[in-house]
Amino acid sequence: MKTTTQAFAIAVPELLYQAVTIWNDYPSAQNPTMLLLFVVYIVLVGILVYGMHRWEHAMRIPGYGT
């Protein structure tokens, strides 16, 4: 599964909009906001990748591929 499709699934544009709103209210919070946004995105994508890996493993056809 591609991470670009996951980005739209977890509403990255909405997360970025909220981050810009925080920046406008508190300009000194730019770096912490981006760090938090990065961590949230990595955690959400990590959960999705792990879930897809488990699902692919469960749906594997014995003897097909490696």
- The string of pLDDT tens digits covering residues 6-61 is 666 666 777 778 888 888 888 888 888 888 888 888 888 888 889 888 998 898 88
Separation between Cα atoms, residue 19 and residue 64, nearest integer Å: 45
Please name the helix (run of DSSP H) or strand (run of DSSP E) that holds residue 63, with its range, or none: none
Separation between Cα atoms, residue 59 and residue 48, nearest integer Å: 16
Contact indicator for 52, 1 with CB cutoff of 8 Å: yes
- HEC states along 33-52? HHHHHHHHHHHHHHHHHHHH
Separation between Cα atoms, residue 31 and residue 10, nearest integer Å: 22
Q: What mean pLDDT value characterizes the chain?
A: 79
Q: What is the pLDDT of residues 31-44, one digit of tens each?
A: 888 888 888 888 88
User: pTM for the whole thing?
Assistant: 0.61
